[in-house]
Amino acid sequence: MDVESVIGVDLGGTNISAGRIEKSVVVKSLKTDINPLGSEDEIVQSIVSITESVYDNKVKGIGIGVPSLVDIKTGIVYDVQNIPSWKKVPLKKIIEEYFNVPVYINNDANCFAVGEKYFGKGKEFENIVGLTLGTGLGAGIIINNRLYSGKNCGAGEFGSLPYKDSILEDYCSSKFFINQYHTTGEVLYSRAQRGDRQAIDIFEEFGSYLGDAVISIMFTIDPDLIVLGGSISKSYKFFIDSLMEKLEKFPYKRNVEQLV
């Protein structure tokens, strides 16, 4: 579907990205860091500012992905775990009143899954899961070619499942590198690219934990395809072997073979 001009915004736990798309082509994009401990108004103003930077008068609508629960009808964002000040933010109303165009808000992992379904690796599949690996761990679920969001976009929050001494998100997101090794995934990725054995070992450990998360998804959803996204996915080559080694223990071998 070619719309004259639309804007997509991705609110992450540490940054915001925005892009203007004209006839399915990204014509301008920006990314900026945010302070996740900032006030509700500060984060909202950052969204307004970056959106304004890519906006022009041809824009017909704005879509925003957020890492939390959303009431799709009202556009109220609830309880963003990685941005503590965001408890109940009427984001749709705020952005619509500022730009005077329709605004659509959904969970960021849902947006990722829909994008992969219609424009990416999921085109040929009816049942897919888009798994986002970043500040947190999220998942968007497509079942029988339709997005399944749950009541408040809460479906797919596998990161909150109990795991070891905590939850899956603490072992399958950037929190793992920070909490266990007191560094960031970006730093470890740079070291791993240079052949640093310790960094590679850490990614292999991460892949093993991620394998447990994927197995939980396979038991629950039995998808045709699981697509990895988010900032950590660029380190894929350093954790794919340990991830697949964990999946070899999955009892239903045919299910594993169907994953791409």
What single-letter amino acid sits at 203? F
Q: What are the residues facing 21 on neighbouring strands? A: 6, 26
Query: Can you tell me the distance from the alpha carbon of 215 to that of 210, in angstroms, rounded to the nearest whole number?
Result: 9
pTM of the predicted protein model: 0.87
Listed in sequence order, the residues at least 6 apart from 193 whose beta carbon sits closer than 8 Å to its beta carbon are: none
Residue whose C-alpha is closest to residue 10's, from 229, 170, 236: 229
Tens of pLDDT, residue by residue over 111-126, are 999 999 988 999 999 9
Q: Which positions of the chain have pLDDT values less than 70? A: 1-3, 253-260
Please say whether the beta carbons of 118 and 91 come within 8 A: no
Q: Could you give the domains of the chain?
A: 6-101 (3.30.420.40), 110-258 (3.30.420.40)
What phi, psi does 194 have (nearest 5°)? -90, 5
The CA-to-CA distance between both ends of the chain, in Å, stands at 26
Tens of pLDDT, residue by residue over 135-158, are 899 999 999 999 998 887 788 889
